[in-house]
Structure 1
Amino acid sequence: MAQSTLLTALLVATSLVSAVKNGSITAVSWGSPRVDIFGIADDKTIWHKFETGYGWEPNPGFEKMNATAFGYPVAVSWGPNRLDYFHIGREQSAHHKFWDGTAWKPDGKYSERLEGEFTSGLAVNSWGENRLDIVGRSTENNYIHKAWAGNDWHPSITKWEDLGGNFSSAPSIVSWGPGRLDIFGIGAEDGSLLHKYWNGDTWIPSDSWESLEGGDFVGDPLATSWGEGRFDIWIAGKDGQLNHKFYAAGAYQGWEQMGGNFASAPAVVHWDVGKIDIIGQFDASDDTSYHSKAWDGQNWYPGFDTWFDKGGDFATQPAVVVKKGKNFLYVTGVDQAGKLQLQIFDGYNWHPAGDSYWPLGDTKKPYHIESDNSFVVQGSLDL
């Protein structure tokens, strides 16, 4: 069960980009064919749309989550019929709502307030059933941490563990398996990348952060893992190039620059061991399309420092979901007109085409029928 839930947790690459804090989206899957997408509407309500295998619901429009969010949505799943959704509220504290397979909890318009006061998005991870880890940057620019271990929040529902540091970016966290958690962030002093990890018993380093050097970095980093003993770090340099470093076989490989023109790390997913897909939006006023590249285990396509142009006219960074074990990708984003757009790769071809998208609804007018305090039925699928 631990391995399957870990893979589920690794299905999603989520955009947490400060520049689009009220326009960013998050996508997650608890297993094929399920995909859930969340975002924040202009009125600060949270919208939700989901694929069950029989089409996107609700149709038309979106489910209204009856919560007020002021940025940084993020969703994770530790297994079938379970969703956990987090956002930053009006008072800059963390809020949480979850789907338990039959209903959203807490009931109605309420969410669970986890306190804290944050100046960036939350990074959330699940390494297995009944485990959640949350890390965010506080008003003092240090990182703070809270964990759900099955019965209670630790250190408590209102308190957070101080991990120290002085950061200019939101954190990124990743787990390659139960008991392991790696945290990365950009240091405020020199723009280098800093790292700390939980080994199952203690934080290492215990009272400081390991410098992975590099830099001068900008935006927010992203960490990913395709399996035990391996993680990859993705981060934008001041020159806009995507920087990459990875840890494997007990050692780090040096930084490499992979071209592009990014203001923050793009979305990165692994559909299997040794496979990498990268999709992001360049930082240019005259280029609002998405760009991509892929690693097949031996070569980068279209090239090490070149990128495919995937078209579109987007206002947000993409949220990307993959089917584990299958070269099947869902690419979603909100365009300049506020329409949620979808593109799919089936292992052979992009649909509807490599540079075009299907519309899934208008996020500026998201609610076809005003909802009350009840919610659209999620559809508990036996996957």
Structure 2
Amino acid sequence: MLVKLALLLSSSAGLALSLPSSGPQAKKISKRFIAEPRASHVDWNAPRHHGGFLSKRSDVHTEDYFNNPPSLFSLAADSETVKRDAAIAEDLNVASHNNTKRAKPGQWESLDGSCKYHPAPVCWGGKRMDLYYMGQDKTCYHKSRDYGAKEPKQQEWGSWENLGGEMDSAPAVCTRKKENMHVFCKGTDGQAWHRSYWNGWGKWQAMGGKMKHEPAACSWGKDHAAVYVAADDGQCWHRRYDEPKENSGSWKSWESIGGYLSGPPKAVTWGEDHTSVICKGDDGQAWHKKTDPKKPTGWGEWETLGGSLDSTPAACAWPGDDRVDIFVKGSDGACWHKTMKNETVTVKDPVTDKPTVTTMPKWGAWENMGGEMMADTPPDVAVVGDGMEVYITGQDNAVYRKKWADGSWTEDWEKMGGNVETQPSTVTWDDGKVDVYFTGKDSTVKRCF
């Protein structure tokens, strides 16, 4: 069956995005979304060889080289990135700094830069915001601001700081606690690289491995963090950091959790002893695996969620609710959504054969949220109190949003404006504020707030 979608676009920010299913404005989509799980051509849970991921290699960078790579070119004479005010004025309605509670249509800010891929924001709590990107020169850039700082200068965005490196992917970043950050990337040598911030920057450290895509980062509690990567042979590998005592942490060895990934994984957590890993499989379906403390390996098995994906999944987890929501760009170009949450069920005790009432996690059906998304741009989602905000990049290079509150979604996609070229990167901060970051068509970093 052909899925019919249409976007009624307007240049005015704040316009709702309507999706007629028929009539002269409906656009035919050549591919349909297949919601039903299908049998895979391979066993995702069968043990496998490490596929060379752990093999020693001679074609990798030294840590000294990675921390001091030769400069490919200078971005600006004063070491700051080039400003593009004319292009920005043409692209967006640039707003002044604002402590708004939620992102609103038309409120945009340019943060300059010369960005490749999408930026990576993080908040370690309160009103502090940090932002990272891979530059056109393959090095990592960082800037920050702190609305709660005593010094007025710190309340504004600082200059871009060059953290060095020789990257081949967008960075991934997570935080365990205040004044702590972990930054990960794929190096041009295919290895995973890591740099941490704790009262100042450490050096880039080689983590080994042989990656195919950008990494994913996840942290639960102040003492734990982990990085997840897809290897050349499609397996998902992760490496965990534990800090049993203050400033005495260490990284564990790489561990394979199997799978046949065709893109980078996504890792989310709702708290201690839980991590959900979601990915697009090489069969086009969504796959999920989560930690299980009762299992010897600490992991449950991979389960297929069906779907026919055209992007890396986005996901969020709800602290205290044992709930995970995933969002994908479907093969029909629309945004699709699926939820896992605990449901009350009656099961028979294996010994007494008596019925017992318990709760078990269960996935709901795929939900078509509509929209017409730009190619190769997955959605992103932010949990805001008891609700969610989902952002997509449309085929017109504008940004669109849907909100979930009180158990239902807003009917139409809300146009947020913008002229961007990448997927959205969302972050929540200061107890409910939402920022969304993109790379613009002029390669500068854009903030929607």
| Matched-pair identity in % | 24
Contact 1:28 1:76 in 2 (8 A): yes
1:239 equivalent in alignment to 2:343: no
Pick one of 271, 284, 289 that aligns with 1:177.
271
Within the alignment, does 1:226 sit opposite 2:318 as a pair? yes
Per-residue CA deviations over 1:157-210 (Å, capped at 9, x if unaligned) read: xxx212111121211111111011111112213x1111111123535765x521
Following TM superposition, by how much is the alpha carbon of 1:131 offset from its aligned partner in structure 2, in angstroms? 0.6
Q: Could you say if the C-alpha distance between residues 60 and 29 of structure 1 is closer, same or farther in structure 2, counting changes exceeding 3 Å?
A: closer
The equivalent residue for 1:104 is 201
From 415, 419, 423, give the equivalent of 1:317.
Answer: 423
Write out aligned runs for 1:161-240 (5 A): 161-189=255-283, 191-202=284-295, 203=297, 208-213=301-306, 215-228=307-320, 229-240=322-333
8 Å CA contact 2:174–2:217 kept in 1: the answer is yes
Give yes or no for the alignment of 1:268 onto 2:381: yes
1:23 and 2:117 correspond: yes
Aligned positions of 1:246-265 closer than 5 A = 246-249=339-342, 250-262=361-373, 263=375, 264-265=377-378
Greater RCO structure (CA 8 Å; 6+ sep): 2
**CA-based RMSD:** 2.0
User: Gaps spanning 5+ residues in structure 2: where?
Assistant: 1-114, 244-248, 343-360
Q: Relative to structure 2, which stretch is displaced further, 230-239 or 52-61? A: 52-61
Q: Deviations over 1:224-264 (max 9, x none)?
A: 11223111111111001111111112322111110012344
Structure 1 length-normalised TM: 0.75
- Indicate if the aligned counterparts of 2:324 and 2:341 stay in contact, CA closer than 8 A: yes
**Alpha-carbon displacement from aligned partner over 1:126-178 (angstroms, at most 9, x marks no partner):** 011121111111000111111111232222xxxx2121111212111111110
Residue of structure 2 aligned with 1:149, choices 242, 254, 262 = 242
- 1:55 CA displacement: 5.4
Q: In the alignment, which residue of structure 1 is the partner of 2:389?
A: 277
1:62 alignment counterpart: 160
Contact 2:216 2:229 in 1 (8 A): yes
Q: State how far apart, in whole Å, the 2-side matches of 1:331 and 1:83 are.
A: 19
1:122–1:171: 8 Å Cα contact kept in structure 2? yes
Partner-residue secondary structure (3-state), 2:234:
coil
TM-score, normalised by the number of residues in structure 2: 0.64
Q: Unaligned stretches of 5+ in structure 1?
A: 1-20, 345-383
Deviation at 1:60, TM superposition (A): 6.3
Question: CA 1:339/1:330 → structure 2, altered by over 3 Å: closer, same or farther?
Answer: same
Alignment-mate amino acid for residue 168 of structure 1: S
Secondary structure class of the residue paired with 1:31: coil
Does the 8 A contact of 1:172 with 1:184 survive in 2?
A: yes
Alignment coverage as a number of residue pairs: 304
Checking the alignment, whether the CA contact within 8 Å between 2:311 and 2:378 is kept in structure 1 is yes
Residue 369 of structure 1: aligned partner = none
The answer to whether the 8 A contact 1:219-1:236 is kept is yes
Q: State whether residues 229 and 236 of structure 2, in contact with CA within 8 Å, keep that contact through their aligned partners in structure 1.
A: yes
